[in-house]
Amino acid sequence: MAKGEGAESVSSAGLLQPSILKPEELARSKRESKTKLSICSKVCYAIGGAPYQITGCALGFFLQIYLLDVVQMDPFYASIILFVGRAWDAITDPLVGFFISKSSWTCFGRLMPWIVFSTPFGVISYFMIWLVPDISQGQVMWYLFFYCIFQTLVTCFHVPYSALTMFISREQSERDSATAYRMTVEVLGTVLGTAIQGQIVGRVDIPCISDPPFLNMNNSSVVLEEVNITRDTGSLSDTRNAYMIAAGVIGGIYILCATILSLGVRERQESSELQLAEPVSFFQGLKLVMKHGPYIKLIAAFLFTSLAFMLLEGNFALFCTYTLGFRNEFQNILLAIMLSATLTIPFWQWFLIRFGKKTAVYIGISSATPFLISVVILESNLVMTYVVAVAAGMSVAAAFLLPWSMLPDVVDDFNLQHPDCRGHEAIFFSFYVFFTKFASGVSLGISTLSLDFAGYKTRGCSQPEEVKLTLKILVSAAPVALIIFGLLLFKLYPIDEDRRKKNKKALQDLRDEESNSSTETDSTELASIV
């Protein structure tokens, strides 16, 4: 009898061995094992951000000059395509965010199915953008349709991917680390987009049309002959084929990156911590999000700084070609900017950890202003242009990294202030992208119309002085003004390092409380079984 009781006691002791640990220690160990991300997971997660940046960079730098000089579209219609496409892209972000919030968890997760199923159709529509249809009428509708379709599909990829930051780990340090990996790869994606598109297309010169010759006779300028002199170092069909080859290469990279992301990243349901029995509706959540002061101030500040770099991106190819006179060199200058940005992402990650995120914003983004000014003040010099490009790339890196590093801080702050409204992480990310994209569409449309009013000549070997002046304003004066205004707004952003650390501690206490409650429940159930 005693022997039997002893055996039972040993058995019971063996079963209850885990409860010897203190509940808080057991909870901490359990939490750390669940939220710690491996380097492989971070790399796979980061690779998933490349397709959006590769395609976005190729479109941002080259679509305008492609429509004007390759498709030979009137600048007015080109501005309509650029504006409507970007505006539609902005509208799709909150719509996709809404549908994601209604999505249910599957065996593949809640967000990953959106990424997987949108990829093949997105690649097809992207290729069609760079195809010149053999039709005399309807070209405007062709590009408008496929541009909008692609923007919809890439939104179905990027919004869930952005929100995935909150679902790969619930530890702020792990999310920040993963974000740094992601920003490095995304900036590298801009390098790839610039290099692939620029180097393939740059090997074929776009034929340009010189001005008609004039004959000076009796102190008056008389037109000698109404002819177009074409500098045909490469046929227009060769140029069009080069754009399609570049689109095919980028499409293949898009599929590869999406595959690595879907196979290498696990979406953790427990990272959406503290789920409610009765979740708040999307529109109730949206109303609360739009009333959250730190979020509004953050997106307002980054709206203007992002616009500055978008204006630079959209007009830099034309600026290098016609204002600086580097017709066959602009793709290499763009590549220098993106390479510099890629190499300095780790520096800015170290800087924001060491000195704080707000300090990194002020120093990182403002550092672009002297170089934007000098590029138009100094005489056209190729070596100096490369120096300015490398220096400006450092500021581009900060502009890439900081918004995505700070948005999770705003989400954490919101969750602490509104514990009854959770599970709407996609709203924060999708509406940030919505505002920046919509404003980008407006700026691109206005900039293209400005070139039209200035007298832009399609496929011209040179442009009037009014066009050159307009390009200087679009890549220098306007971006500098937007950066200054954005940084002034950013002074209103209330989440400094002290508040961020307090929020982190408060969230940690909530997780500990939840984990302890779960551990006590498990122990009670185990004891009842024994």
- Residue boundaries of the structural domains of the chain: 37-208+233-267, 281-495
Residue 144 pLDDT: 93
**Angle at alpha carbon of residue 516, lines to 511 and 522, rounded to 5°:** 125
Tokens (6 digits) for 330 = 């602009």
Domain 281-495: what homologous superfamily? MFS general substrate transporter like domains (1.20.1250.20)
**pLDDT tens digit at each of 530 positions of the chain:** 444 444 444 444 444 444 444 555 555 555 555 557 788 888 888 899 899 889 988 888 888 888 888 888 888 888 889 888 888 887 887 788 778 777 766 667 778 888 999 999 999 999 999 998 887 788 899 999 999 999 999 989 988 888 787 777 767 677 778 877 887 788 788 778 888 888 888 777 666 666 555 444 444 444 444 344 444 445 678 888 999 999 999 999 999 999 999 888 877 665 444 444 445 566 777 777 888 888 888 888 888 888 888 888 778 778 888 888 777 777 788 788 878 887 888 888 889 888 888 888 899 888 888 888 888 887 777 887 888 788 888 888 888 778 878 888 888 888 788 766 655 666 787 777 777 777 777 777 788 888 888 888 776 777 888 888 898 898 889 999 999 999 998 888 888 888 888 887 887 777 667 666 655 554 554 455 54
The answer as to CATH 1.20.1250.20 being correct for domain 37-208+233-267 is yes
Strands (E), 180-236: 208-210, 214-217, 220-223, 229-231
Identify which of 314, 339, 317 has the alpha carbon closest to the alpha carbon of residue 327. Answer: 317
Residue 222 pLDDT: 44
In three-state secondary structure terms, 209 is strand
Strand partners, 210: 229
pTM: 0.67
Whats the size of the chain, residue-wise? Answer: 530
Locus of tokens 């924060």: 428
Q: Say how many Å lie between the first and final Cα of the chain, rounded.
A: 19
In three-state secondary structure terms, 103 is coil
Annotate 204-220 with b (16+ C-beta within 10 A) or e (fewer): bbbbbbeeeeeeeeeee
Q: In CATH terms, are 37-208+233-267 and 281-495 the same topology?
A: yes
